Homo-oligomer: A and B are copies of this chain.
Amino acid sequence: MITLTVDLDIRSYPIFIGSGLLDKTHLLREAITGSSAFIVTNETVAPLYLQTVQALLTGIRHEAVCLPDGEAYKTIETLDIIYTALLKGHYDRSTTLIALGGGVIGDMTGFVAATYQRGVNFVQIPTTLLAQVDSSVGGKTGVNHPLGKNMIGAFHQPRAVIIDTQTLDTLPDRELSAGIAEIIKYGLINDAPFFKWLEEHMDALLDRDSDSLAYAIEQSCRNKAHIVAADEKESGFRAILNLGHTFGHAIETGVGYGTWLHGEAVACGMYMAASMSANMGWLEQSALNRIRMLLHRARLPTTPPTALTPDRFRSLMSVDKKVIDGHMRLVLLRGIGQAEIVTDFDPDALERVLHNKVVA
Q: Which A residues have a C-beta under 8 Å from some C-beta of B?
A: 34-36, 76, 79-80, 83-84, 87-88, 90, 92-94, 114-119, 140, 142, 145, 147-148, 151-155, 233-234, 318-319, 321, 323-326
Contacts and interface: CB of A to CB of B under 8 A. Distances in A.
Given A87-B151, A114-B154, A116-B151, 17 more contacts: A34-B325, A35-B325, A76-B79, A83-B151, A87-B148, A87-B319, A90-B318, A90-B319, A90-B323, A93-B321, A93-B323, A94-B325, A115-B115, A117-B151, A117-B153, A118-B153, A119-B233
Nearest to A139: B118
Contacts of A234: 118
A143 to B, nearest CB: 9
8 contacts: A36-B325, A76-B80, A83-B145, A90-B318, A92-B323, A94-B324, A115-B115, A118-B233
Nearest to A148: B87
Contact of A118 (B79, B118, B142, B148): B142
A34 B323 CA distance: 12
Nearest to A315: B90
Nearest to A94: B325
Contact of A145 (B87, B114, B142, B319): B87
Given A35-B326, A90-B318, A84 B115 contact: no
Contacts of A325: 34-36, 92, 94
A155 B118 contact: yes
B152 A116 contact: yes
A328 to B, nearest CB: 10
A118 B87 contact: no
A88 B148 CA distance: 10
Nearest to A328: B92
A352 to B, nearest CB: 24
Contacts of A233: 118-119
A154 B118 contact: yes
A65 B40 CA distance: 34
A142 B154 contact: no
Nearest to A140: B118
Given A87-B319, A145-B83, A115 B326 contact: no
